[in-house]
Structure 1
Amino acid sequence: MAGLMDKAKNFVAEKIAEMPKPEASIEDVDLGGVSKDGVTYNAKVGIMNPYSQSIPICEISYVLKSDGRVILSGNIPDPGSIAGKETTKLDVPMKVPHSVIVSLVKDIFRDWDIDYDLELGLIIDLPIIGNFTIPLHSKGEVKLPSIKDVFGGGDDEEKKE
């Protein structure tokens, strides 16, 4: 009887492992905005759902690192669901206080950008399997706006016309 149970467990485990699972990728990380409270970064995530039914996203967790250290971590509870048989685009806003940005001055003045290392975890609720985490990772740099970008000002060519 124990042998039969082991075979059944192995069969079920193999079938679950072969099931298609949603796939995700971080498509872009950019500066979302600057306010009196801090700087908002925005990660754009695409999630492909192979099933015909929508799947709820339980939570998105994130860790944002710069210059080798964690500058922000947090989570977004219940951000919505992934539509069936299509790619759903999600925006993941992350607000970094100005005090943290000030600590990155050396990196900013070196090349007028902020190097980042972003780790995201999308926790979704799959039928039969239960909660499933899709780990995502992205490294890159976010270019900071110049004074001209912040305060406006056009090209000399535009002024001549």
Structure 2
Amino acid sequence: MEILEQAKNYVAGKVANMPKPEADITDVDFKGFGLDGITLLAKISITNPYSVPIPIGEIAYAVKSADRCIVSGTIPDPGSIKGNGDTMLEVTVKVPHGAMVSLIRDVGGDWDIDYVLELGLIIDLPVIGNFTIPMSYKGEMKLPTFADFFRGGKSTPEEEEAVCK
């Protein structure tokens, strides 16, 4: 039994030290809004150390604000990671208007919504099995003011001076 236990520990140590794909959220943009809600576009950079492409099983996502989960879900079969290199993946997340209305209390005086986007890239690695690469991105959505509609989004010299101080 001792040899079997040593072999099991050896294999577990080798698997733990194997290189694994890495991913990072590089940017999140406000893509637009429509009748169904607001759309966020997350750009993910994924590095694959293996020479073969790896299929992505699914992407789990959650958008949180003020310690509340606003929306969560999964995106099935978003593609694959190319071998020996970097892959840029764009993920769209829809936030329904009903969820945005519940955020009004977060707006307050600064007229923005602070949010956290959490993504889990779920891939199936041979020998290891399902492997989740967790990612997180903190940001804020600035809401337009009435003055932005009339000025076309341009700030006044006084506002620019206040921002620079």
Q: TM-score by structure 2 length?
A: 0.84
Does the CA-based 8 Å contact 1:31-1:144 persist in structure 2?
no
Alignment of 1:79-158 (within 5 A): 79-145=78-144, 153=152
Q: Deviations over 1:124-153 (max 9, x none)?
A: 011221111111122221334556877994
Q: In the alignment, residue 83 of structure 1 is paired with which amino acid?
A: K
Q: Percent of counterpart pairs with the same letter?
A: 60
Shift of 1:98: 1.0
2:18 equivalent in structure 1: 19
What is the match of residue 56 of structure 1? 55
The match for 1:159 is: none
How many residue pairs end up in the alignment? 154
Deviation at 1:97? 1.1
* CA deviation vs aligned residue, 1:2-55 (integer Å, no higher than 9, x gap): 111111101111111111000111111221111011101121111110111100
Distance (whole Å) between structure 1 residues aligned to residue 80 and residue 149 of structure 2: 35
Amino acid across the alignment from 1:11: Y
Instruction: Check whether the contact 1:30–1:142 (CA below 8 A) recurs between aligned residues.
Output: no
The 5-angstrom pairing of residues 4-43 of structure 1 reads 4-43=3-42
Q: Give the partner amino acid of 2:27.
A: D
Judge which range, 143-152 or 16-25, deviates more: 143-152
Letter in 1 for 2:28: V
Distance 1:112 1:44 in 2: 25
Partners of 2:153 and 2:142 in 1: CA distance: 19
Write the distance in 2 (CA, Å) between the matches of 1:153 and 1:140: 23
What is the CA–CA distance in structure 1 between the aligned matches of 2:20 and 2:149, rounded to whole Å?
43
The DSSP-based 3-state class of the residue aligned with 2:109 is: helix
**What residue in structure 2 maps to residue 158 of structure 1?**
none
